[in-house]
Amino acid sequence: MTFIEETLIELHANFGWTQASIERALGLEMKVLSTKDPKPELVALMKIIKVYPWLIEVADSNYDEFESKRILGHNAVDLIVNKLANKNCPSSSVG
């Protein structure tokens, strides 16, 4: 399984995004993410998306400046809240 295939599976499982919806949001050609020999630029793009999956939402909002900042802020808050929740969760402590 390629890195891009693994990333697509993860994005679908975690966010419900399909390959087609990702390609559409990013303005990519259809089926370009399923090529067996992807260009290095495509692999680099998917590495960035793997780390910052909310960028797909930014692209889907046509890179609107206000919406992009809202998405960034929302994801930052989610990250902090989830980290705090996991830190304080009794099941996460070793005992």
Instruction: Encode pLDDT of 57-90 as tens digits.
Output: 999 999 999 999 999 999 999 989 988 888 876 6
Share of the chain above pLDDT 90, in %: 78
CA 9/CA 19 separation, integer angstroms? 9
Residue 45 belongs to what domain range?
A: 3-92
Q: Which of the four pLDDT bands, split at 50, 70 and 90, describes residue 48?
A: very high
pLDDT given at position 95: 43
Q: Write the CB contacts of 50 (distance below 8 Å, at least 6 apart in sequence).
A: 7, 10
Query: How far lies 1's CA from each of 8, 34, 51, 71, 88, in Å?
Result: 11, 11, 19, 31, 36
